[in-house]
Structure 1
Amino acid sequence: MTAMALVWATLPGVAHAANAPDAPGISGELGTVVLLVVVIGVAYVLAHNVVERLQRRFLVVSGAEYLLLGFLLGPAFPAILAFDNVTGLLPIIALAAGWVGLLRGTDFDFTSLQKLDPATWRVVFLHHVLPGLAVGFGAYYFFMDGGWVETTTRNAALSASALACFAAADSTEPFDLLARRYEVSGRLASLLRNGTRLGDIAVILAFGLIFCVFHENAPQAQDYSPALWAWVTVLLGAALGFLFSLFLAGDESDNSRFLALVGIIAFASGGAYFLELSPLAVNLSMGFVLVNFARGGQLLHTTLESTERPMAIVLLIFAGALWQPTPLVPTLVALAGFLAARTGAKWIASLIAGWGTSLR
């Protein structure tokens, strides 16, 4: 109702601006822009409210509304072109990705690891490795021998590796939603949540290796081995973590800590972006050092958790803006194969992980 009231109140003014007789060119363009902004804003509010209701009612977790918003603002939708320069968005995306990487790195503190259920490691290994392998090999076969697309061996291996990481990744949002709805607690809830977070760490490291193996060197630059780039990724994050830990007193206010994190992540993500490495992996390594060696490391983790949702929304919006249309039929075939391979591998991994335990 609030959104409809806003529409009713603003549309007459927008229409007047769009049809002003004194300066039809400028006013018409301004009115069109304002109208588009109002329509997109209302559509976003309505979509967000609908999705929230669906999540609570049908236990559906989705970020499609943010992807759609990014698509409408991106170059693929020429009517608006708010993000017409996609290259200029890459540093912002690197910052948001670095924020997520630092958060996952701060999950890896020694105290929490010592309290983990021993079965967590089996869940992490099986629930992430099997789907990744199934989708990775299946995607490579699809690109090379499926007959749907024409590509090189390097591009096929790169795409298959990225899809393998996407298949291995999980999210804690479904578990959190179930826990809020049904008040789920006990060993199973903590096992799944901890396993998902540790699995994300493994996926980020694997995704960082993709940047090392398929690293693009500048023309006439010396070609370094993937192993060296992997060491640079880990050591760069660790060195920055030790450096910035000297400037954190541990008794800062929440606002001061937030501003410090913005500067830290911007510096680390900028270094990774300049070296064409993964901001996720660099900040993951830095987060591991900060949470274990910096004063007030757990407070950093708390601040990062409180801002996780906004940064995830930023990534979803920019992901929608970066989306480029692809041929429909091969895309649908690849999507169906991805979902089938990932779902089947997850199901098999769950059976194996619970075999011989009380969780079965």
Structure 2
Amino acid sequence: MNATLVLVLVVIFSFAIGHLLTRYASRFVTLSGAEYILVGVLIGPHFPWKLLSAATVDRLAPLFSLLLGLVGFVLGLRGKREARRIDEGVAGFSSALLTLIAVSGAVLTALTLMFPADAAQADFVYNAVLLRTHGYLVEVHVASTHLWVALGVGAAAAVASPLLIESTRRLSAAGGRVSDLLEASARASQITAVLVSGVVLASARATDAASRYSMTVTEWVIASVAVGVVSGLLFGLFIGRESEPAKIFLATIGLVTFASGVGAALGISPLFVCLMAAVTVSLTSSHCAKVQGELDRLQHPLFVLVMIFAGTLWDPVRGWAWLFPALYVLVRFVGRRMATWLAVKLFLEDKLVTRRVGNGLLSQGTLAVAIGVNFAQRFPSFSSLILTTVLVGTLLSDLFSARALRALLADAGELGQEAPKVEESSEAPA
């Protein structure tokens, strides 16, 4: 089948399913990405029929960057609103960072043991002596690529999706202090993950380009922020006082295309650049509410497209490398519970009734997959490992996250009766 026809069918399928999710399913059930990832795997280059060949998938890299940019832009538009909940957000930021550190450390250790550092392929190798005793020497050798990959997987692990929390509150009339904390923490974790992944990819770009350019890590990070800010300011200049929804929508898509394209061309994160662009738009443009309203119609199709194209990129690992998804799920589960408990204890003045608050932040969603895709594109030699770890880890986490959340809210006394009638939700499955 012609690759162009396959792409057209995928887009039509995504928008059709997205419409159904917006109109019906999102009001009664929570979303799972497993079926869409399976669609991507089936049309990808790793099955005999190869509806999309490997060469075609490579040529679709700009489209993947655009999708990543849209995810970051939608997230950034909410930044101004979420910043008002700073008290609960601090606990969410802290919990996400601690989870990121725990998962990154575990993945880095496993990478170092299973894939010894190759100085010829790494930008740098960090060597350190851990122990000298009785004639024995314990050393550690950490390659730059291992470090960036581990931090990327850790950033994906830091994400907690607010979708499950919102849908549970909607379907079960749940509400209260724990529910509010969980939702704010999930939003904060998304911002944290994108910021960290942006800094990591800018750092990787700095070390990769050290022999050609004289820009430092700090300068690359500043450049990444500047690209996003300038893109956001250009949007305000370009759109002017325009009020027609169709033109605002087209201008928004043009902005995201430009910002994500520049980010991809520079080898930095389209997610991060478009997040910065969206934050700039939300702070400087009077069209922010209209832009967000126009992007609402893309939210569910975007969820479907990201999952499908992640499936097309996924080439499952073999052998012992399957330990990585198990390690990801285990360390993230333990780390998230402990980190959230500690963050709540340190940063909230009023103590919560329950200690299991981390159980409400186990679900992940679109953003974790998008971060995995971003790092898989940036480090193709580890693409299979990154996508296997993040995709399988995300799907496994979703198997028990809903039950854990409901048990937590029931324990906190916030789980009410199922609402007989609810409003349609326009929140993105992120």
For Structure 1 versus Structure 2, the TM-score category normalised by the shorter chain is 0.7 to 0.9
Once the 2 structures are TM-superposed, how far is the Cα of residue 63 of structure 1 from its aligned partner?
Answer: 0.2
Once the 2 structures are TM-superposed, how far is the Cα of residue 211 of structure 1 from its aligned partner?
Answer: 1.2
SS, match of residue 103 in structure 2 = helix
Aligned equivalents of 1:310, 1:257: Cα separation in 2: 19
Seen in structure 2, the aligned counterparts of structure 1 residues 82 and 55 have a Cα distance that, compared at 3 Å, is: farther
Moved more, 67-76 or 253-262: 253-262
Asked if the contact 1:172–1:196 (Cα under 8 Å) also holds between the matched residues in 2, the reply is: yes
Matched, 1:137 2:105: yes
Aligned equivalents of 1:130, 1:351: Cα separation in 2: 11
Identical-residue share of aligned pairs (%): 24
Asked if the contact 2:91–2:340 (Cα under 8 Å) also holds between the matched residues in 1, the reply is: no
Counterpart of 1:88 in structure 2 is: 59
Matched, 1:175 2:165: yes
Paired letter, 1:63: G
Counterpart of 2:87 in structure 1 is: 118
Aligned equivalents of 1:53, 1:98: Cα separation in 2: 26
Matched, 1:244 2:235: yes
Seen in structure 2, the aligned counterparts of structure 1 residues 253 and 206 have a Cα distance that, compared at 3 Å, is: same
Counterparts in 2 of 1:1-360, with a 5 A limit? 56=28, 61-84=31-54, 85-109=56-80, 113-114=83-84, 116=85, 118-126=87-95, 128-145=96-113, 148-152=114-118, 153-215=143-205, 217=208, 221-249=212-240, 252-331=243-322, 333-355=323-345, 357-358=351-352, 360=354
Aligned equivalents of 1:54, 1:187: Cα separation in 2: 24
Moved more, 297-306 or 269-278: 297-306
Asked if the contact 2:178–2:352 (Cα under 8 Å) also holds between the matched residues in 1, the reply is: no
Counterpart of 1:4 in structure 2 is: none
Once the 2 structures are TM-superposed, how far is the Cα of residue 74 of structure 1 from its aligned partner?
Answer: 1.1
Aligned equivalents of 1:191, 1:306: Cα separation in 2: 28
Over aligned residues, Cα RMSD in angstroms?
Answer: 3.0
Paired letter, 2:168: L
Structure of higher CA gyration radius? 1
Give the TM-score of the pair, scaled to structure 1: 0.78
Counterpart of 1:11 in structure 2 is: none
Question: C-alpha deviations, 1:24-76, integer Å up to 9, x for none?
Answer: xxxxx89xx99xx9xxx8xx98xx99xx98995xx664201111111111111
Asked if the contact 1:236–1:282 (Cα under 8 Å) also holds between the matched residues in 2, the reply is: yes
Asked if the contact 1:273–1:279 (Cα under 8 Å) also holds between the matched residues in 2, the reply is: yes
Asked if the contact 1:66–1:320 (Cα under 8 Å) also holds between the matched residues in 2, the reply is: yes
Paired letter, 2:352: S
Question: C-alpha deviations, 1:108-159, integer Å up to 9, x for none?
Answer: 21x6523x16133113312x112111110011110112xx344541222122
Moved more, 337-346 or 320-329: 320-329
Seen in structure 2, the aligned counterparts of structure 1 residues 354 and 210 have a Cα distance that, compared at 3 Å, is: closer
Gaps of 5+ in 2: 119-142, 355-430
Aligned equivalents of 2:26, 2:286: Cα separation in 1: 42
Asked if the contact 1:76–1:325 (Cα under 8 Å) also holds between the matched residues in 2, the reply is: no
Once the 2 structures are TM-superposed, how far is the Cα of residue 185 of structure 1 from its aligned partner?
Answer: 2.7
Give the TM-score of the pair, scaled to structure 2: 0.66
Once the 2 structures are TM-superposed, how far is the Cα of residue 83 of structure 1 from its aligned partner?
Answer: 4.3
Question: C-alpha deviations, 1:227-278, integer Å up to 9, x for none?
Answer: 1110000011101111111223465233322211111111111111111110
Aligned equivalents of 2:117, 2:42: Cα separation in 1: 29
Paired letter, 1:133: I
Aligned equivalents of 2:42, 2:153: Cα separation in 1: 25
Aligned length: 312
Question: C-alpha deviations, 1:187-244, integer Å up to 9, x for none?
Answer: 3333322321222111101101121111175797324222111000001110111111
Aligned equivalents of 2:187, 2:328: Cα separation in 1: 22
Aligned equivalents of 1:151, 1:308: Cα separation in 2: 41
Asked if the contact 2:91–2:344 (Cα under 8 Å) also holds between the matched residues in 1, the reply is: no
Seen in structure 2, the aligned counterparts of structure 1 residues 54 and 330 have a Cα distance that, compared at 3 Å, is: farther
Asked if the contact 1:249–1:295 (Cα under 8 Å) also holds between the matched residues in 2, the reply is: no
SS, match of residue 326 in structure 1 = coil
Aligned equivalents of 1:154, 1:175: Cα separation in 2: 37
Once the 2 structures are TM-superposed, how far is the Cα of residue 296 of structure 1 from its aligned partner?
Answer: 1.8
Paired letter, 1:358: L
Paired letter, 2:67: A
Question: C-alpha deviations, 1:67-92, integer Å up to 9, x for none?
Answer: 11111111111313324322111100
Asked if the contact 1:246–1:294 (Cα under 8 Å) also holds between the matched residues in 2, the reply is: no
Aligned equivalents of 1:330, 1:62: Cα separation in 2: 25
Paired letter, 1:69: V
